[in-house]
Amino acid sequence: MQQDISIQGVKPEKGSPFDMHGCLDVSGVDLIDASGQPYRLHGISTHGLQWYPEYVNEATFRFLRDEWGVNAIRLAMYTAEDGYCDGDNPLAFEQIIRTGVVTARHLGMYVIIDWHILKDNDPDLYREDALDFFGRVSAEYSGAGNVLYEICNEPNGYGIDWEHVRSYAEDVIPVIRRNEPDAIILVGTPTWSQDVDAVAVHPVTASDNVMYTLHFYSGTHKQELRDKLLRARSDGTPVMISEFSITDASGSGPLDLNSAREWKELILKENLSCFAWSLSNRKESSALLVPECHVLSGFEDEDLTPAGRWMRDFMRELNAR
């Protein structure tokens, strides 16, 4: 147990993103840094932590920060599929999260704690667990400043409309707010985090510094979803792309580079935050690493899949702006 490491005592490295930009806020529909300037998170999402915990370590994060220009990491903690809620050892996940958050803080990177619902489509299925989990992690990381809380990855399925998700959010957000009055909270939207345009009619009332997530996979999601995103923003809804890839929505299949280019232009134009799926060597085209890659940092061209090389170049480009 490493309970003794307390986040508040961990000093961010000098010149690191968090050292330079501090606590983030939502202003209108945009993210701003501590000095009030527009700011973008461009990061990498882990794959499911039950399968790929090994990438949560300092060498990996440092490499992504220094060589790819990544300023944030998303820790995808599945709730189902032998995850936090239906697996044997929830405390093991909390320890991985702890390692991830402490490491990110030390490296001065932002970090999302992602309650990764997926096959458990309805956030209410594990609402009690979510209340308990977010109550405890927000207490542990209270005031850290670099932690974002994503309370439901992708609500989906019949009857899981915005009102349904909203009632879950209205319950969970206050539990986090007791410990983290200012941290950014990310709320998933119906249809696998696509219905951001449904939020404006009735956004969560609970607090400021809430953003709503949109996820895209360029092979599946095209102009229609880009239009939803723009509509949501013009209706006043702050949107974060907390997960995307350039494959189809299965996470496999061919890359759709033309659609990816359109998304890329939109991200640049609207200055949106985005997180690439996923940091793993799984045999699927959205994985950033090839199955033969067994190193955890120093990734060379041959360690990367075509998606991995695209994401690396995109992250570098975002970082250069």
Point out the residues that are catalytic: 154, 243
**Residue that has been written with the tokens 């032998």 in this structure:** 82
Our finding on whether 153 is near ligand IDC (CB under 6 A) is: yes
Interaction of residue 30 with ligand IDC, rule CB under 6 A: no
Report the run of H or E that residue 33 belongs to, with start and end.
none
Rounded Cα–Cα distance for residues 287 and 57 (Å): 18
Considering the rule CB under 6 A, would residue 284 count as an interface residue with ligand IDC? yes
Q: Taking CB under 6 A as the rule, does residue 253 contact ligand IDC?
A: no
The single residue among 140, 180, 243, 303 that binds ligand IDC, judged by CB under 6 A, is 243
Alpha helix (H) residue ranges in 108-156: 127-140
Q: Are 113 and 138 in contact (CB under 8 A)?
A: no
Is residue 241 a contact residue for ligand IDC (CB under 6 A)? Answer: no
Which residues between 164 and 203 bind ligand IDC (CB under 6 A)?
192
Using CB positions, name the residue nearest to ligand IDC.
Answer: 251
Closest CA to 188 of 147, 251, 241: 241
Cross-strand pairs, 289:
304
Report helix, strand or coil for 280: coil
Contacts of 204 (CB under 8 A, 6+ apart): 166, 169, 170, 173, 187, 210
Q: How far is the CB of 80 from ligand IDC (least distance, A)?
A: 9
87-95, 132-140, 202-210, 248-256 -> range binding ligand IDC (CB under 6 A): 248-256
120 touches ligand IDC by CB under 6 A? no
Residues at the contact surface with ligand IDC, assessed by CB under 6 A: 48, 81, 118, 153-154, 192, 215, 217, 243, 249-251, 277-278, 282, 284, 286
